[in-house]
Chain A
Amino acid sequence: MTELVGYLDPATASIVFQAVVGGFLGALLAIKMYWRQVRAFFVGLLGHRRGVKDDGE
C-alpha cells in the first residue's frame, strides 16, 4: 500500500508511529539475530576443536 487517505484518527496515528519505529526495531532485531549466529558459530567451532584434540590424544 503506497497511499492512505489522510483523514486522521488515532488508529492511523498508530500506523505512522509504526512506520517510524518499525525500521529501527527491525534493525535491532537484525543485529540481535546476527549476533546469535556469530555466537552459535563460535560455540560450534569450539566444540569441533575440542573433538579434534581428543582424537589426537
Chain B
Amino acid sequence: MFRRGDRLYRQINTVYRENYDLFISSGLHQQLVESRLLIPHREVDVEPAIPELAYRTIEPERVEFISYPYEWSFSQFKDAALMTLDIQHRALDAGMSLKDCSAYNVQFHRGRPIFIDTLSFEKYREGEPWVAYRQFCRHFLAPLALMSSTDVRMSQLLWSNIDGIPLDLTSKLLPWRSRLQFSLLLHIHLHARTEAKYADGRQAANLKGRRVTKLAVQGLLDSLRSAVRKLQWQPAGTQWGDYYSDTNYSETAADAKAELIGQFLDEIRPASVWDLGANTGRYSRIAAQRDLFTVSLDLDPAAVEKNYRLCREKNETNVLPLVMDLTDPSPGLGWHNRERDSFVQRCTADAIMALALIHHLAISNNLPFHRIASSLAEICRWLIIEFVPKSDSQVQRLLAAREDIFDGYTRENFEAAFGEHFELVRSEPIAQSQRVLYLMRGDKS
C-alpha cells in the first residue's frame, strides 16, 4: 500500500495477477461488493510504488476510522468472525479461498463489519488444506471463546499477541466446561495439543498424500460457524452498564444538555466527532442524527456492547462504538511499533465531546487540568466539554472513597488551564444541575 498526497493506493504485483483476474472474472468480487461484504475499489492509472513488480494499481474506498480487534466489543467481534466465515463460504462456491483470516482484515464501515483485504483471495485447488484455518482459530475463535467463557476483557490479550491468541494459552485459560462443547474441544483444545506435539520441530510428519477434500473444508467451516454462533455474552452488571439509571440526573437536565450539544454542533458543523467516555452512546447519537460520523468510545465493554447492539438494531451508519481506556489507550504494536497505530496516532477528530468526563480524569485519575487540556488540544480543533463541579453528586461519590486533595478542582482553574490551549467560545449552565457545558476552539488548524 502507498500514498500519493492524501490518497491511499494498493499495488497489485504480477505474482498475484492470476488470482486477481480470477477474483474478478469469477464474479466473486462483484458479489461480495454488492452484498457489502468487501470494500469496493477502482482501478487507477497511477504510477505504482514499485513499478517493476506491479501489475495493476487500485484505490480502495476509505474507511472512516481504522479500529483494531482489541477495541471491539463482543458482538462486533462475533459479527466480524461470522462475516469472515461467510466470505470464505462464498469464495469456495466461486472456486477461490481466503489465504488469510486475520482479524485485521476486517474494519467497521458505515456501522457494519467489512472485509478490506481485496488481495486475500487465491484460487482454490481441490485437495489442498485451508491454510487460513489456524489463523481463524487464533484471531477469532480463541478471543471470542475467552470473552464469552472466561472474561470479556480477554480481548486485551491481543495487545501482546499480534497474530492472534495462541491456542495453548487459550486452552489453559478456558474453563474446563469448554471441553464439553464439541466444537471448542476440537478447534481449540485438540488443535492446541496437536500443535504442542509438533512444536519442537523434530517430529517428521508424513504429509505425503494427505488430501483435504472440498467437503472437508466445508465441514470445517460449518463447524467453526456453529462454534462462533453458540458463543454468547450478556452485558449486564459491569460497573458502568447501569450508569444512566444510577445518576440523579433529572430527565430535564439530560434533555437540556442534549439540546445544548445539538446547538453547539449545528454552530460548528464538524467533519467528524469523537465522543469520549460515551457510555452507551446517548449523546453520540445527537451528532449521528446530524449526519456526522461519530466514534463513540468508552472504557466499559458492557456499555460499548449495548451501544453497538442499539446501533445494529437501528441500522445506524454514523456511529462507531469502541472500547478504549483514555488513561491507557491502545499503543502502537508490531514491528517498529508501527504495524498497528496507537490511538493517538489515529486521532483525526475534528470535534471532541468530553461529557461527564473531566471529574473521572482529574479526580479518579489524578490528572491535572493543564495536562488534560494540552493533550486534547493536540488532537482536535473543537471541544465540547462539560465541567462537573465538586458539589455534583457524581463527584461526591468519587470523593467518598478518597482523600480530598483536590483543592485545585474549581471552575476557575478549569477555565484558566483550558484557556491556555483553547478559546472559550461559549459556556452554558445545564438546567437543573450545577454543571456547565463549554464550546472551545483549539489553535490547531
Whether A16 contacts B194 by the Cβ 8 Å rule is yes
Interface residues of B in 27-44 (CB under 8 A from A): none
Asked whether A12 and B198 contact (CB < 8 A) given A3-B207, A6-B207, the answer is yes
In the complex, the answer to whether B207 meets A10 with C-beta atoms within 8 Å is: no
Q: B237 an interface residue at 8 Å Cβ cutoff?
A: no
Interface stretch (choices B61-69, B122-130, B244-252, B300-308): B122-130
Identity of the chain A residue whose Cβ is nearest the Cβ of B134 in the assembled complex: A14
Are A16 and B215 closer than 8 Å at their CB atoms? no
Q: Which of B186, B205, B216 contacts A12 (CB 8 A)?
A: B205
Instruction: Assess whether B180 is interfacial by the CB under 8 Å rule.
Output: no
- Stretch with Cβ within 8 A of A (4 or more), from B150-158, B217-225, B280-288, B354-362: B217-225
Give the interface of A toward B (CB within 8 A).
1-4, 6-30, 32
Q: Evaluate contact between A22 and B129: CB separation under 8 angstroms.
A: yes
* Cα of A14 to Cα of B141 in the assembled complex, Å: 15
Q: Decide if B172 is an interface residue (CB 8 Å cutoff).
A: no
A12 to B209, CA, bound (A): 15
Top 7 closest A-B pairs, CB basis? Answer: A22-B216, A25-B219, A26-B219, A14-B134, A13-B198, A26-B216, A26-B215
With A1-B128, A22-B212 in contact, is A11–B207 under 8 Å at CB? no
From 12 to 29 in chain B, residues with beta carbon under 8 angstroms from any chain A beta carbon are none
Report whether over half of chain A's contact residues are helix, strand or loop; otherwise say mixed. Answer: helix
Are B198 and A25 closer than 8 Å at their CB atoms?
Answer: no
- A14 and B206 CA atoms in complex are apart in Å by 13
Check if B191 sits within 8 Å of A6, measured CB to CB: no
Which chain A residues lie closer than 8 Å to B209 at the CB level?
2-3
Output the least CB separation between A17 and chain B (Å): 4
Choice from A2, A10, A14, A32 contacting B133 with Cβ under 8 Å: A14
Q: Decide: B222 and A10 in contact? CB cutoff 8 A.
A: no
Give the size of the chain B interface in residues (CB under 8 angstroms).
Answer: 38
The complex places the Cα of A19 from the Cα of B219 at a distance, in Å, of: 12
The reply to whether A18 and B129 contact each other, CB–CB distance below 8 Å, is yes
- Residues of B bordering A, CB below 8 Å: 125, 127-131, 133-134, 137, 186, 190-191, 194-195, 197-199, 201-213, 215-220, 222-223
| B133 surroundings in chain A (CB, below 8 A) | 14-15, 18
Report the minimal beta-carbon distance from B342 to chain A, rounded to whole angstroms. Answer: 29
B194 pairs with A14, CB closer than 8 A: yes
User: Which residues does chain A contribute within 8 Å of B211, judged by CB atoms?
Assistant: 2, 19
Cα distance, A20 to B191, chains bound together (Å): 11
Neighbour of B222 across the interface among A15, A20, A21, A32, CB < 8 A: A32
- Which A-chain residue is minimally distant from B202 (CB atoms)? A8
CB distance from B101 to the nearest CB of A (A): 12
- The answer to whether B210 and A29 have CB atoms under 8 Å apart is no
Q: Which residues of B contact A22 (CB under 8 A)?
A: 129, 212-213, 216-217, 219-220
Contact B129 A8 (CB under 8 A): no
Residues A25 and B222 in contact, CB atoms below 8 Å apart: yes
Complex Cα distance, B195 from A19, in Å, reads 14
By a CB distance below 8 angstroms, the chain B residues around A32 are 222
Report whether B219 and A4 are in contact in the complex, using a CB–CB cutoff of 8 Å.
Answer: no
Per the bound structure, the CA–CA distance linking A2 and B137 in Å amounts to: 25
CA distance A13 to B131 in the complex (A): 11
Q: Please give, as numbers and ranges, the residues of chain B lying within 8 Å of A14 by CB-CB distance.
A: 133-134, 137, 191, 194-195
CB pair A19 B201 closer than 8 Å: no
Is A29 in contact with B222, judged by CB distance below 8 angstroms?
yes
C-alpha gap A32/B218 in the complex (Å): 12
